[in-house]
Amino acid sequence: MQPLRRGRAAAAAVCGTTVLLAVAAYTSGVSSSAAAPVALSTTSVISRLQAKLFVAQQHEHAYEGLEQAVTTSLGRFAMAKASHDKERQNLATQELLLDNVMAEAKHMATAEKKGKVQDFNTAVAHLNSGMTELKTLLSAANCPPRHGGQAALNMCLIKQQLGEAAMLRQGQTTPKGMAALSSALEGTEQTGRQLDRSDQRLQQDITAAKIQLQQASVFRGFLLFVGLS
């Protein structure tokens, strides 16, 4: 009986060893086959993260550019506005002088027609005073202007239209002189409107830049949400 038991025990040992080897081999195969998909998945995740990071960086650069554009637009508008306000003040002075001279010339003509001596003399005094002031302003104008401002350019145009102020004779007006004054006044008003349009264009640039910045800010938040999800 003892040799038979020993043979069965040996056979059982061999069988057990075979099973263990088979299990070990299967386990090793499963482990190696499962490791490959994990490695591929990790690489894919890293690639996606890198792509998101690249997009985020590109957008951040664009966003910073838009911020700079808004800042630049605001700076340009502030400088232009200050310059244009000064130009408008000079234009207003020109317009007032031209308007006063024209108004007094009309008063003088009306008083002369109606035979109102006192009104005529008052109108003549005011007309001469306005003409003197306008002549002084014209004589101080450098043509062509050294600084090239709109008001200075307009003053040179007025000087040309009034024939070096020769039409501004004391106590008298002519149809040609009145026409030149009217043309000068119209040109002064037009110059002011040009400055207004320039400011409006600059203001529109600021509005457009702010809208782009706002849209970029919304997209920026969307990128952050997608990146974290």
pLDDT tens-digit map of 205-221: 888 888 888 887 776 66
Domain membership of residue 175 (yes or no) is yes
What pLDDT, on the 0 to 100 scale, is given for residue 226?
53
Report if residue 134 sits inside a domain: yes
Which residues form the domain of 79? 55-228
23 or 153: which leads in pLDDT = 153
Asked if the model's pLDDT at residue 72 lies above 90, the reply is no
Long-range pairs, 158-165, Cβ under 8 A, ≥24? 158/94, 158/98, 158/184, 158/187, 158/188, 161/187, 162/138, 164/138, 165/134, 165/135, 165/138, 165/139
The pLDDT score that the predictor gives to residue 118 is 93
Higher pLDDT, residue 189 or 213: 189
**pLDDT, tens digit (0-9, with 9 covering 90-100), for 18-31:** 433 333 444 444 44
What's the domain count of the chain? 1
- The predicted-structure confidence for 157-178, as pLDDT tens digits, reads as follows 888 887 655 566 666 677 787 8
Kindly state whether residue 122 falls inside one of the protein's structural domains.
yes
12 assigned to some structural domain: no
6 domain-assigned? no
CATH of residue 201: 1.20.1330
Specify if 160 maps to a domain.
yes
Per-residue pLDDT, averaged over 178-206, amounts to: 88
Highest mean pLDDT among 107-116, 134-143, 165-174: 107-116
| % of the chain with per-residue pLDDT over 90 | 4
User: Is 130 within a domain?
Assistant: yes
C-alpha 115/C-alpha 111 separation (Å) is 6
Provide the pLDDT for residue 141: 82
Assigned domain for 14 exists: no
